[in-house]
């Protein structure tokens, strides 16, 4: 059990599920092995602009959940980059 009694995926399971979602692959629950993962918001079409905000993944069979923030389209704005971006002189 995670926070407030919410069942969460273990870290390696959540990372695998998030990677599959980012790659547009079918979502299979790493805990129970079923394809019963719901994604909120629904996956957009390939021609849609990049998503902003929190993405939640939930297995309707075992009840485990994971959430993540999508990557920024501009690599200089990633959380790992220094702020403000260094001058390229």
Q: Which of residues 47 and 86 earns the better pLDDT score? A: 47
Per-residue pLDDT, 64? 93
**What average pLDDT does range 68-78 have in this prediction?**
69
Per-residue pLDDT, 28? 93
- Residue 37 lies inside a defined structural domain of this protein: yes
**What average pLDDT does range 20-43 have in this prediction?**
90
Q: How many domains does the chain have?
A: 1
- Residue 34 lies inside a defined structural domain of this protein: yes
Would you list the DSSP string of 51-76?
P-S-EEEEETTT--EEEEPPPPSSGG
- Residue 19 lies inside a defined structural domain of this protein: yes
- Residue 83 lies inside a defined structural domain of this protein: no
**CA 51 to chain CA centroid, nearest Å:** 11
**What average pLDDT does range 33-59 have in this prediction?**
85
Residue 1 is part of which domain span?
1-41
pTM listed for this prediction: 0.69
């Amino acid at each position: 059990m995670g926070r407030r009694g919410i069942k969460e995926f273990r870290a390696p399971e959540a990372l695998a599920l998030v990677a599959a979602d980012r790659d547009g692959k079918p979502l299979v629950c790493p805990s129970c092995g079923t394809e019963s993962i719901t994604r909120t918001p629904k996956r957009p079409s390939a021609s849609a602009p990049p998503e902003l905000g929190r993405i939640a993944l939930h297995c309707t069979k075992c009840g485990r959940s994971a959430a993540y923030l999508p990557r920024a389209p501009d690599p200089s704005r990633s959380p790992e980059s220094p702020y403000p971006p260094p001058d390229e002189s």
